[in-house]
Structure 1
Amino acid sequence: MEEERVPISTSNGTASIEYTKSNFEVHNFATEIAETPVHFQVLKMDNSVFLWIGSGTDPTFSDLGMALNSSCDRLPLFTRLMGSNTDMTSLNIACRLSKKLERAVYVSYNLPSDRLILPAVEKRLQEEVTAHPEKFGSI
């Protein structure tokens, strides 16, 4: 796609807006766990990754955690940006991915954190990271 310039008027003369190609890349995949459709959406940005994990039947955005590597410690730094302070699921996933991908990772985990669903979700996520590392920014 060729870059487009659109002239606009300003009080001091004219200016132009330059459209550029987005650096964001979206990758979607899904699985079914215990008869529940689980959807994953990855938004790869320049130096970070956003991962949304949720139900295909009831998509919500009620949780957000992030982690990034630190030069001062082996473990990533992490914080909750939105959601319950009692559920560490998104933070744990963000920390593991941040360490593996060597970039900031934002995770929104919007499923029950039970012993059946969570291990299957993490297994499916690891399979996808291994199969398509370029979608997560690790190549």
Structure 2
Amino acid sequence: MEENISIPNSNETLPIEYIKPSFEIHGFSTEITETPVYFHVMKMESSVFIWIGSGSDPTFEDLSMAMNTRYDSLPLGTRLMGPGTDMTSSNLAIRLSKKLGQAVYVSYNLASDGLTLPAVEKRLHEEMKTHPEKFGI
């Protein structure tokens, strides 16, 4: 759809073209050890943001980012926010960036134990298989 707009103090008009927003949001959930876990995925142009957290305590205290480079087969990852000793979100972002072939932001707001993290990753991969378009695949 195209529309024209008049420029103030001028006889000129310019066309304005409306485009579809490039952000798409997708949410899903699962239950891990009787605890509800929620996932929010925001697909952007050439990147994806994934928030993972609890429904009973929805926080945003952690953020990491990873992206592929031409210098190494392993994506480059960094922690942007949260305690520097917990590398869960950074490692997850690196694995997802390698799989998706794009920049990935991960906010992991759950306990990093041996039961929760594998179940979270399994559910995330199931959702990627079911809805690849929501992850930019």
Q: Same fold (TM over 0.5)?
A: yes
Deviation at 1:20? 3.3
CA contact (8 A) 2:66 2:76 kept: yes
Amino acid across the alignment from 2:110: L
SS at match of 2:124: helix
Whether 1:105 and 2:104 are equivalent positions in the alignment is yes
- Post-superposition Cα deviations, 1:33-52, rounded to whole Å, max 9, x if no partner, equal 11110000000011000000
CA contact (8 A) 1:5 1:19 kept: no
Matches within 5 A, 1:34-113: 34-113=33-112
- Post-superposition Cα deviations, 1:43-100, rounded to whole Å, max 9, x if no partner, equal 0011000000000111000000000001110110011110011111101110011001
What is the TM-score with the length of structure 1 in the denominator? 0.87
Q: Give, in whole Å, the separation in 2 of the partners of 1:57 and 1:77.
A: 32
Amino acid across the alignment from 1:108: S
- Post-superposition Cα deviations, 1:102-121, rounded to whole Å, max 9, x if no partner, equal 00000000001011111111
**Structure 1 portions without partners, runs of 5+:** none
Whether 1:30 and 2:68 are equivalent positions in the alignment is no
**Structure 2 portions without partners, runs of 5+:** none
CA contact (8 A) 2:64 2:90 kept: yes
Q: Give, in whole Å, the separation in 1 of the partners of 2:37 and 2:5.
A: 42
Q: Give, in whole Å, the separation in 1 of the partners of 2:62 and 2:3.
A: 38
The share of aligned pairs that are identical, in percent, is 66
Structure 1's 5 and 49: CA in aligned 2 closer, same or farther, altered over 3 A? farther
Deviation at 1:18? 6.0
What is the TM-score with the length of structure 2 in the denominator? 0.88
Deviation at 1:19? 4.8
CA RMSD of aligned residues (A): 1.9
Whether 1:135 and 2:137 are equivalent positions in the alignment is no
Q: Give, in whole Å, the separation in 2 of the partners of 1:3 and 1:37.
A: 45
Q: Give, in whole Å, the separation in 2 of the partners of 1:112 and 1:5.
A: 53
Q: Give, in whole Å, the separation in 2 of the partners of 1:6 and 1:29.
A: 41
Deviation at 1:21? 2.3
Matched length: 135
Structure 1's 86 and 4: CA in aligned 2 closer, same or farther, altered over 3 A? farther
